[in-house]
Amino acid sequence: MSQGPDGIDTHGFLGEEFLTWLWFRWEADGGEFSLPGNRIIGVALDDFLAFAAPSDDETEQTLRRGLPTRTAEARTALRQGRRLRKARLLIAEGSRQWSAVLDAASLTLLSVKLPDDAEECESDLDRTNDRSANWLTLHEIVQGLYRLFLQDRLRADYKKTSGELQARWMGS
């Protein structure tokens, strides 16, 4: 997270917009993303959402269990201008699936669950290498998704195209 000279967070909002964009793309387009190298990634939001308060003097709103994205409380939070601060993401590539909470302000992955160890793992070293490779893959996927978000968000016509569609979705 970057802070300006006055100590105010200057870039955390991008992570919040990124999480909301993932949610929008999941509901609007099915959550399938194409990354370089012919990689097809699936993303869904799972059983945990935390919304930032619209102002510093209010409390954070947390929704858990089931599919909180489908609740009236989640839709109301979006309409009231609450920003998605944290969310549990399910990320899949092929037969591998990760689960992690993404902290939007710092883009930190928390509570990560890696795919099961590969069947070929016969030793502790094999398991360590496999888990390391899965961590690296998750990191690459999140970076690739963030890159797609920025490409969309920084387009000159964003407000008239994707931004308008997302704003309508948030207001529904």
In b/e form, how buried is each residue of 57-72, taking b as 16+ CB within 10 angstroms? Answer: eeeebebeeeebbeee
- CA separation, residue 14 to residues 35, 72, 94, 131, 136 (Å): 20, 25, 28, 29, 23
What residues does each domain of the chain span? 12-154
| pLDDT single digits (tens) 141-165 | 999 999 999 999 999 999 999 999 9
Indicate if the pLDDT at residue 9 is higher than 80.
no
Q: Which two tokens stand for residue 19?
A: 């999480």
The predicted-structure confidence for 49-103, as pLDDT tens digits, reads as follows: 999 876 665 667 777 877 787 778 888 888 887 889 999 999 999 999 999 999 9
Q: How far apart are the first and last CA of the chain?
A: 31
Q: Are 70 and 49 in contact (CB under 8 A)?
A: no
Tokens 């899949």 belong to 92
Report the distance separating Cα 152 and Cα 53, nearest Å. Answer: 26
| Residue 170 or residue 39, greater confidence | 39
Predicted confidence (pLDDT) per residue in 124-133, tens digit? 898 899 999 9
Total-model pTM: 0.86
Strands (E), the chain: 32-35, 39-52, 61-64, 83-93, 96-103, 108-113
Q: Going by DSSP bridges, is the β-strand pair 39-52/32-35 parallel, antiparallel, or unpaired?
A: antiparallel
How far apart are the C-alpha atoms of 153 and 170, rounded to whole Å?
Answer: 16
- Please say whether the beta carbons of 89 and 20 come within 8 A: no
